[in-house]
Amino acid sequence: MPSNALFYLTRDDMPLVSHADGIYMWDTQGRRYIDGCSGAITCNIGHNHPRVKEAMVRQLDKVAFSYRTQFESQVALDLADRMVELTRGELDKVFFVGSGSEAVESAIKLARQYFVAKGEPQRSRFVSLRPSYHGSTLGALGLTGYEPLEAPYKAITLGSIKVPSPDFYRYEETDIDAHIDAVLKQTESAMLTAGPETLAAFVLEPVGGASTGARMVNQAYLDGIRALCDRFGCLLIMDEVLSGMGRTGEWFAYQHWGVAPDILAMAKGLGSGYYPIAAMMARGDLVETVTDGGGFMHGHTYAGNPLACATGLAVIDAIDEENLIDNTREQGRHLRARLDELADKYGCIGQVRGIGLLQGVELVRDPTTKEPFPADLNAFDILTRLAKQRGLLIYPRRSLNGLRGDHVLITPPLTVTRQQIDDIVELFDDSLAAFETSIAGQEAS
């Protein structure tokens, strides 16, 4: 029997999970589900991977936990070195934490302390996008641009300077180039108004996650943001909690455009759901400035814990040795092509967007006008429930600042095969047909 003591977001009853393997999960009633969203875009190498389980057991036989001020562990040193290699040396310092929110908090604090150590304590403000998602702890929430998540806590968060996120679907300019130019000008204006000398960092997701449904940037935008940061003397922080660790067909999404951040936050796919581990990476000169100034005044109990680091190393080995980056590119192209077919078939799909195995589907009431469904319809929730009834797990959220608009993410594990992509699309196709029937019935009544 489910416990009445446990609570999370809502009172919704969930099936009890029994076991999982690869891209599949089963509940205690024996029903199978395809994990079409890798949980919370987390299980990048799928469930029940033997390499990771063996690595965790080997580490458990040695030591599961050691505290960072008392011991260093070889496995933490090895993982840090490996992660520097994944950035091709562009970021050469690593700070381990336990979750994406902690990674973003760490990035905020490092940026702030860097400027304090440099003798620029007036640099205390951050710029971020609306919409966006950066985490649920108070600092990360202050960067987040998603109104329902922000509203209850505005009185106790500092907040950030919010600037428009590029939107290649709903832009009003003549073309995307003009749109990017307009967005960059609005961003520049906001930074000038705030006072460039007060800015610590600009924070963005190179590929959007839950708050935007895989909304994309392009080369011109990232080049423009990098130039603004350099001109105003602030840092560029990229949040790759969701898009990192192979999800987009590169180890990190920023590598598609070759615009490196000064600080990078990552989580989710690093532990791939097997054990909580996340990390902040930074340029060495930033870290040295902070450590030379008395040390980084920040830390968590589980930072660099050996079991977590052994898990992360095994995940990276699996992605590397099983060529899952290449598989992500190949299967991502196939998934996108199949989703585009569904967009041609169903009027409720306004846009398919994303890269690799990070694909978003935006739902609309009218594909010509791009009119969203009424917010009180909760279209994203209807489609997600219909998919789950058919044995497919997808990840829903609202697209327009959390207040309206609907999208779902389809982000299967990087181990997914072509046939499994087809199975996912077949179930999603059936779900969309039921969705359109359900919506038509509700609007007729």
Whether 87 contacts 266, CB under 8 Å: no
First-to-last alpha carbon distance for the chain, in angstroms, is: 37
pLDDT at 2 over 60: no
Check residue 11 and give its pLDDT.
Answer: 67
In a domain, 10, yes or no: no
| Structural domain for 28, as ranges | 17-48+323-444
CATH of residue 207? 3.40.640.10
Segment 287-320, tens digit of pLDDT: 999 999 999 999 999 999 999 999 999 999 999 9
- Regarding whether 295 and 332 lie in a shared domain, the answer is no
10 SS3 class = coil
* Local confidence band at 442 (pLDDT 50, 70, 90 cut-offs): confident
Residues 120 and 238 in one domain: yes
Q: Is residue 379 part of a domain?
A: yes
Please tell me the predicted confidence (pLDDT) of residue 72.
92
- Quick count: other Cβ atoms within 10 Å of Cβ 252? 25
Same domain, 42 and 67: no
38 and 73 fall within a common domain? no
Percent of the chain with pLDDT over 90: 95
With beta carbons less than 8 A apart as the criterion, state whether 137 and 150 touch: no
Same domain? 299 vs 366:
no
Residue 441 has pLDDT above 90, yes or no: no
pTM above 0.85, yes or no: yes
- 214 falls within a domain: yes
Helix (H) or strand (E) holding 74: helix 74-86
Rg from Cα positions in the chain: 22
Average confidence (pLDDT) over 359-374: 97
Convert the pLDDT of each residue in 235-267 to its tens digit.
999 999 999 999 999 999 999 999 999 999 999
pLDDT at residue 9, as a whole number: 73
- The pLDDT of residue 445 is 62
pLDDT higher than 60, residue 1: no
pLDDT for res 444: 61
Provide the domain count of the chain.
Answer: 2
User: Region 23-30: what's the mean pLDDT?
Assistant: 98
Q: Indicate whether 33 pLDDT > 90.
A: yes
Domain boundary among 321, 340, 361: 321
Average pLDDT over residues 136-147: 96
What is the CATH number for 415? Answer: 3.90.1150.10
> Do 180 and 305 reside in the same domain of the chain?
yes
Same domain for 334 and 262: no
Q: Return mean pLDDT, the chain.
A: 96
Residue 388: what pLDDT?
A: 98
Residue 4 within a domain: no
pLDDT in tens, 223-237: 999 999 999 999 999
Which residues are paired to 199 by β-bridges? Answer: 125
Q: What is the pLDDT of residues 3-25, one digit of tens each?
A: 578 888 776 788 999 999 999 99
Alpha helices in 299-378, H assignment, sequence order = 306-321, 324-345
Q: Do 29 and 134 belong to one domain?
A: no
pLDDT tier, 208 (very low <50, low <70, confident <90, very high otherwise): very high
Whether residue 440 has pLDDT greater than 80? no
Domain shared by 169 and 316, yes or no: yes
User: End of a domain among 294, 321, 348?
Assistant: 321
Which of the four pLDDT bands, split at 50, 70 and 90, describes residue 278? very high
